[in-house]
Every structure is written in structure tokens, then in C-alpha cells.
Amino acid sequence: MSGTAEQAQPTVHRTAEEVSRRGSAQTIIVTGILVIVTLYFLVPVYWVVVAASKSTDDLFSTHGFLFSASFQLFENITQVLSFDNGIFIRWLLNSVLYAGVGSLIATYFAAAAGYALSTYAFRGRNVIFGIVLGGVLVPGTATALPLFLLFSQIGMVNTYWSVLIPSLVSPFGLFLCRIYADATVDKSLVEAARIDGVGEIKIFHTVGLRIMTPALVTVFLFQLVGIWNNYFLPLVMLTDEGLFPITLGLNHWRSQTDRLPEFYELTTGGVLLSVIPLAIAMIVLQRFWRGGLTEGAVK
């Protein structure tokens, strides 16, 4: 018996060592993949910073991904902000208006509709949800020209409303809010609030919205990035340079680089500045994803 136990003990040790070795190998592989993915996303950001710090001559020299000897990042940014009486600041504020107001209202509408489809049972609910799923499959570029024809008939082309109004609808946001509300909004919690005499609208604002916060942050960020980077819709709708968002304005500068090479400095500096608001939004709002799925529920 003792001999059998002594033979089994080394076997157990070898098995534990094999498991540990296998786990270490998997950790190394996963870490390597994550490093590659991180570099894949960070290298373009690094190149934007490098390009924004160069003059036009240095940008097309052999320096490549390295900073040049004449580091002029702050000079380029100052030039971007002061060029043409600060037109870049106007474009930046336009993008904040389009993306900020549009994503905020679109998130609220998506939350209200998703909560209603999840909480209330009525005829045609699944049909409406199916239509919404169909809307998710339609790309925004496919609706730009029909929207232009519609807005031109009512005289709203080349106005803030022509870009802002189409941004207030988010089929993906509604879909996500419906799914998230089904999983997190407890029907018994809603019934308890009704028994206490709370109205439906107040239940939605005090219970539904708070529980759905992680989903709402996700919808808001998706909509914010989508509107901020939207190019085709403003291109179709707007002709007044003072109404341009930052994407259309930067493309306007880039189109002049063939005859005026100094516009490369304006374009690269403007691209760097255009990334900063989105990075700030990501950093500020990511803490809401760490909240519990039932945050706001009555204990």
C-alpha cells in the first residue's frame, strides 16, 4: 500500500506541473495576441501625433514614423485654431452640436422605445421589433439621398436641422435597449412601483433608466462616434462652410493640399484635435460600464 502511494505521488506532481506549464503557455499566447491587437489600434494614433508635429517637408521625408528634428506640434495646432478666423473652432462646435445633442436625444428615444417594447404587452409588439431589426441592416449612406430629397422639399437643406434630425433615430440603440431591458428590468419591481401609486413615466425615469445605465452608455457612445465620424450625410446636406462638421471641414482642407501643400499641416493638426473629444468621452463614460447590472434597483 505504501509503495502504491509513493508511486501515485510523483504522478500527481507531474500532472500538476503539466497543467501549470499548459496554463503558462496559454497565458503567453493570449498576452501576445492582446499586445498585437493593442499595437494595431495604437499605431495609427501614434502616427497622427507624429504627423501633426511635422512640417510639410518633414512629413514626406524619410523620417517615417519617427519624430523629426524640427518638432512643431504646438505651432501647427496654433495655426489650425487661428486659420481663417478660427473656422476650425466653428467646425468643432458644429460637431459637438450634431454629435452631442443627436446622441443624447437618440439614446433617450431608444431607451424609451426599448423599455416600452420590453415592459408592455400589446398587439404588434413583435412586428415593430422586427421592423427595427430591419432598420439595423440598412446603412446610413443608403438613406442619405432620400433624406436629401425629403429635406429639399420642405426647405431644410443646408441647415443644422438637416444633419441633426436624422441623427435622432438609432435602430441599433432601440434593439440593444429592448434586449437589455428584457434581461435586467424586473417586472415585479415595476409592479411594486405601480402598487405604490407611481406613474408610468416616473417609473421609467426613476427605475428603468437607472437600471439600463450600462446599455444607455453603450448606445450613447456608439451614436456619438457614428455622428462625429459621419461624412456622407453632411456632404449631401450642407454647402455652407460655416455649417460643416469637423469631418467635412478637414476633407475640405485636404482637397486643397495639391495646390497648397501647407494645408497638410492644417489637416494633420486638425485630425489630432478631432480625436481628443472622443477620447475624453470614452475615458469619462467607461466607469458606468463597471456598474452592476441591477444598479438603481430597490434593495
Q: Which residue ranges make up each domain of the chain?
A: 2-52, 74-290
> Quick check: 2 pLDDT over 70?
no
Smallest Cα–Cα separation from 234: which of 147, 175, 172, 170? Answer: 147
Average pLDDT, the chain: 84
Confidence of residue 10 (pLDDT cuts 50, 70, 90): low
- Dihedral sign for Cα 239, 244, 249, 251, please: negative
pLDDT at 144: 86
- State how far the Cα of 142 lies from the Cα of 198, in Å rounded to an integer: 43
pLDDT at 295: 47
Phi-psi region of 155 (alpha: psi -120 to 50; beta: other; left: phi over 0): left
> Quick check: 289 pLDDT over 70?
no
φ/ψ of residue 189, rounded to 5: -65, -40
With vertex at residue 221, the alpha carbon angle to CA 207 and CA 42, rounded to the nearest 5 degrees, is: 140
Q: What is the mean pLDDT of residues 120-146?
A: 84
> Quick check: 17 pLDDT over 70?
no
Write down the pTM of the prediction.
Answer: 0.82
> Quick check: 294 pLDDT over 50?
no
Helix (H, G, I), strand (E, B) or coil at 70: coil
Stretch among 214-218, 221-225, 257-261 having the lowest mean pLDDT: 257-261
- Cite the DSSP H helix spans in 165-260: 171-184, 187-195, 200-203, 209-211, 213-228, 232-237, 246-254
Amino acid at 128: I
**74-290 placed in CATH 3.30.43.10:** no
> Quick check: 142 pLDDT over 70?
yes
